[in-house]
């Protein structure tokens, strides 16, 4: 059992991050608002904010606190921690330009999907998405594409952790049915989301694998269901994504080969 001071330290860290999350979700806030949101005394919230401010992770503007710009550097480091992630950026932009819709590159972290890159074409609808946004994997085309490359046991671990909550009436909420859906994704190499996450929004996603065959993430396109339908939804966009994912995988493999060759001594 941890010592009392260890437990206190863990709780202190958790509380500081709860405050950061309040600022993330709500924007600049007064001390009273933060304390009220977290149901804690203002004196406690102030101590945490004072520490975060001294470390430059929180800024102060008048009577309001906000996320400090020091997080900008941390966010970029996280987003580019794997050199392969950086390579996806250009392909996301190209897909957005070619389809005119919203294109994304999504990766899995702690059983959730995280948007690393987003680009919008001329016709794109924002749909509340932004870089760094976390989503559940089970009801998105990107999530299905990623999970299709995982073992059944790993998929079950994620489903045990996050469940299969119903987002719309089209969401798959039965585990066995979901595994059957993932098998279909494996067979065709493409994942479809037909209003399973948001009403009126369809999406197509394909997995992107690294040189070792492991899934790195998913390249996907989303658009209003009245536009993304029929042959466009089932054939045109999937073919485009498969071609882009293949080109990205080849680039990653070539880059990896170059790095390997550079250390060979003849």
Per-residue pLDDT tens for 42-82?
A: 999 999 999 999 998 898 988 899 988 888 777 777 766 66
Rounded CA gap, 98 and 103, in Å? Answer: 10
Q: What is the pTM of this model?
A: 0.77
Phi-psi region of 233 (alpha: psi -120 to 50; beta: other; left: phi over 0): alpha
Task: Give the pairing type, strands 64-67 and 58-61.
Answer: antiparallel
Question: How far is C-alpha 183 from the geometric centre of its chain's CA atoms?
Answer: 22
What is the CA angle 261-85-68, rounded to 5? 130
Q: 211 CB contacts (<8 Å, ≥6 apart)?
A: 252, 253, 256, 257
Q: Is residue 24 within 8 Å of residue 30, measured between CB atoms?
A: no
DSSP code of residue 140: S
The span from the CA of 112 to the CA of 165, in Å, is: 13
Q: What is the pLDDT of residues 106-123, one digit of tens each?
A: 999 999 999 999 999 888
């Amino acid at each position: 059992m941890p010592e009392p001071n260890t437990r206190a330290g863990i709780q202190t860290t958790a509380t500081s991050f709860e405050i950061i999350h309040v600022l993330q979700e709500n924007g600049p806030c007064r001390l009273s608002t933060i304390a009220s949101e977290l149901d804690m005394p203002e004196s406690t919230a102030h101590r945490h904010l004072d520490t975060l401010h001294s470390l430059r992770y929180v800024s102060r503007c008048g009577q309001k606190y906000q996320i400090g710009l020091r997080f900008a550097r941390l966010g970029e480091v996280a987003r580019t921690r794997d050199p392969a992630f950086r390579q996806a950026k250009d392909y996301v932009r190209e897909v957005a330009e070619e389809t005119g819709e919203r294109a994304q590159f999504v990766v899995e972290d702690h059983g959730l999907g995280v948007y690393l890159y987003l680009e919008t074409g001329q016709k794109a609808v924002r749909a509340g998405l932004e870089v760094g946004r976390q989503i559940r994997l089970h009801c998105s085309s990107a999530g299905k594409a990623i999970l299709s490359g995982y073992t059944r046991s790993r998929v079950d671990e994620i489903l045990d952790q996050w469940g299969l909550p119903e987002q719309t009436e089209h969401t798959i909420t039965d585990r066995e049915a979901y595994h059957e859906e993932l098998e279909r994704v494996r067979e065709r190499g493409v994942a479809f989301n037909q209003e399973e996450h948001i009403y009126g929004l369809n999406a197509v996603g394909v997995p992107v694998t690294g040189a070792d065959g492991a899934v790195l993430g998913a390249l996907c396109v989303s658009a209003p269901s009245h536009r993304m339908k029929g042959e466009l939804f089932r054939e045109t966009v999937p073919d485009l994504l498969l071609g882009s994912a293949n080109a990205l995988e080849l680039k990653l493999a070539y880059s990896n080969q170059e790095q390997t060759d550079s250390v060979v001594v003849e």
